[in-house]
Structure formats: C-alpha cells, structure tokens
Amino acid sequence: MAKTAKSRASKTQRDILDLLRKHGSRIYDDLDHGRFPNFEIPSRSVGNIVYDTKLRQYVLGKSAALRSSKNTSQLRSFTQLMWLAFFANRLTQEKKSSTLRDVYYSSQAFSIDFDDQSESDNIIVDLEAVLAKPREAMHIFPEERSSVFGDLDIEYTVPGYEGKRMNLSNHPDGYAIGPSLTSAELVGTSAEMVIAIEKGGLFTRFVEEQVDKKFKSIIVDTGGQAPRSTRTLLKRLHDELSLPVIILTDGDVYGEHIAMVIKSGSANAAHLRELTVPDAKWVGVWASDIERYDLPTIPMTDSDIKRCHDLQKDPRYSHGIWKKELEVFLKIKRKAELEAFSKYGLTNITDRYLPQKIELARSL
C-alpha cells in the first residue's frame, strides 16, 4: 500500500512535469525555427462558458485565444505566463508548497512585472486553463483551512511523511485539510457516507453526538463556502471510496449556493474537472423545512432576495429542489440557520432532523 500512495503522488507530479515539458518544447521549437512562440489559451470569457448537462458542471466551449510573443500588446502577459510555467515546474520538482500570494512576490525576484496580485492570480488561472490542471497540482495551495473527522485511514505522500499512515478519528476537534491531506492516499474507511456541514459549531456538535459512529460517516466542516482543498477532498472521497456525499447548510440562498458549488463548481473554474462532486446531495436546511420543522426565522434582506433572482437565471437552478427551494424562499421571504434547531434542544438536529434527511437522501 505504501507503494500505491507513492505512485499516486509521483503520477500527479509526473503528469504536470510532462505537460510543462511538452509546452516548453514547443516554445523552444518555435525559437529554433525562427518563429515567434505562442500559447493557445482556452477562452474564459462569459460567452465561452456553457453548462454541460452530461458532466453536470460549467465547461469551456471551443473558442481559444492565441497569446503570441509577436503581438506587442500580448508580450507582457505572454512573458508572465512563460515565467509562471517555469516557476510551477520548479515548485513541482522541489515539492514546495506555495500560495497565490507567494507566487506574486516570487515573481519580483525574477523582475517579472505584475501590477498587483490580481494580475498574477489571473495568469495562474490562464496556466490552469492551458494545462487543464488545477493549480494545487503545481503546488499552489489555498490559504483557507477547514477540517475533517471520521474513521478514514490515509497515507501521506508529502516529503518527510511519505508512507506514514494516519487515522482521522482520534482528534475530535478535527484535522485541518491542507496540502498533506488532499495529496494523501485514501487507504480505507468503515464509513458509508460523507456529511459536509457549513459551520464549525455544528461540526463539533456532530462529533460530540457521535454522528460519525451512529451514521457511519466522515464529517467535513466546510467553514462557509468550501475552500478548493475541501472540495478536492470531497470529490476524492466520493470517487475513490465510492462514498455518497450529503451537504447541510443554513436555510438561506447563500447556503443553497454553498451546496451547489460543492456539487458543480463555479463558472470561473469551468476549465477544471477536479473541483466538483456532481452526485453530492443538498439535503437541507431547505426553505420548505422552515415550515415543516417550525423553525425560528430571520427575514430575508433585499440582497438575499436579489441573490435569489440572480440564481434563477443560472441553468443549474432551473429544475428540481434547486428551483423549488428558491421559489419557496421568495414566497416566504424568511430564512433559518442550522442552529435554529436548537430551539428544540441542542441535539434535536442530530436526533431528529439528520436521520430523516439521511433517509431521504438514500431514497433520492
């Protein structure tokens, strides 16, 4: 098994290095033949982002732009992209972790000119689109951390910890989800599902009430909008360990969208496939649960209502519960938090609501 873990990490690394070498060779080839080198970059403009009903996520269409060193107006971004590919190659070879911000500052050592971090962030997404690989594969990781708890055996692949095993059910406050965890081999689990929950307080409640044992589950705290590393882990738990994923959020339009992003990503990551769990199920808190469970509510704000109307234009919200719940929110103009169940006792959510929702998810 140690071998498997090592091979997986090596394969990801080899894939990226191969891709970078392939693109690099083309550049050298152009130069050797006296041609101005260029990159072909899939267009990420709104007109080229389409919803793919089969993949159940946004994808990029066929249009692509040529970024050429011949065109003086493109020379700047061409050079930035060239440098970034060089730097990504170095990061990957040296297995050093970095962040978007690190890359921005690192560029200054090479006198590569970025006006500000947003310009370098944008070039990093360009490189993701060129390679069709997430930046995490090039060792550029998000800053945010959320956490996980449950009977899951992993085996690390990061330097210094290769081959070491860990079971994630011994620290009840949870294990931070960072580069080591997302790149680890998922060795095995006795769990039969994954429960992703929006808030740290509820995550602690779930661990305390032994939701991991009672419902044979792995519990993930998304800490609001789930960071990319958390979405990657959720996808891997689903794809590699065949675990169904259910999502619990606050009963408001933002909660509904947190669930949607876990399920089908976001339009601005249409060039990637690693960040979605199309089979994930949002099981609550639904607008219709507010009446069903007689929950204390808060009035929706104007911005909540506007957000509902905005989401109604998104094709993903044109059917099923996604459509229905937006309509109920707009009808009742009230929202409810996960903690609202505490009105009926602190364990009401785990004793009553959760079992009913798990039952429902199984029947869907």
Residues in contact with a second copy by the rule CB under 8 A: 96-99, 101-102, 104-106, 108-109, 141-147, 156, 158-161, 164, 166, 170-181, 199-201, 204-205, 208, 210, 221, 223, 296, 337, 339-347
Q: Based on CB atoms, which residue is closest to a second copy, 41 or 290?
A: 290
Cβ 140 to a second copy shortest distance, Å: 10
Pairing mode, if any, of strands 64-68 and 146-149? Answer: unpaired
The number of C-alpha atoms within 13 Å of 252 and in the hemisphere containing its C-beta is 23
* Residue 105 known to be catalytic: yes
Q: Name residue 223's beta-bridge partners.
A: none
Q: Based on CB atoms, which residue is closest to a second copy, 197 or 277?
A: 197
Cβ 104 to a second copy shortest distance, Å: 8
- The secondary structure of the chain, three-state, reads CHHHHHHHHHHHHHHHHHHHHHHHHHHHHHHHCCCCCEEEEECCCHHHEEEECCCCEEEECCCEEEEECCCHHHHHHHHHHHHHHHHHHHHHHHCCCECHHHHHHHHHHCCCCCCCHHHHHHHHHHHHHHHCCCHHHHCECCCCCEEEECCEEEECCCCCCCCCEEECCCCCCCEEECHHHHCCEEEEECCCEEEEECCHHHHHHHHHCCHHHHCCEEEEECCCCCCHHHHHHHHHHHHHHCCCEEEECCECHHHHHHHHHHHHCCHHHCCCCCCCCCCCEEEECCHHHHHHCCCCCEECCHHHHHHHHHHHCCHHHCCHHHHHHHHHHHHHCEEECHHHHHHHCCCHHHHHHHHHHHHHHHHC
Cβ 172 to a second copy shortest distance, Å: 4
Q: Tokens at residue 113, please?
A: 């000119």
Cβ 327 to a second copy shortest distance, Å: 26
Q: Based on CB atoms, which residue is closest to a second copy, 205 or 316?
A: 205
Residue with tokens 């929202």: 335
Nearest to 220 by CA among 286, 280, 143, 162: 280
Q: Based on CB atoms, which residue is closest to a second copy, 39 or 341?
A: 341
CA angle (52, 274, 198) in 5-degree steps: 95
Nearest to 160 by CA among 98, 236, 96: 96
Q: Based on CB atoms, which residue is closest to a second copy, 343 or 362?
A: 343
Q: Based on CB atoms, which residue is closest to a second copy, 6 or 56?
A: 6
Cβ 208 to a second copy shortest distance, Å: 6
Cβ 355 to a second copy shortest distance, Å: 19
Cβ 95 to a second copy shortest distance, Å: 9
Q: Which of 51, 105, 156, 254 is catalytic?
A: 105
Q: Based on CB atoms, which residue is closest to a second copy, 327 or 339?
A: 339
Catalytic residues, by residue number, are 105
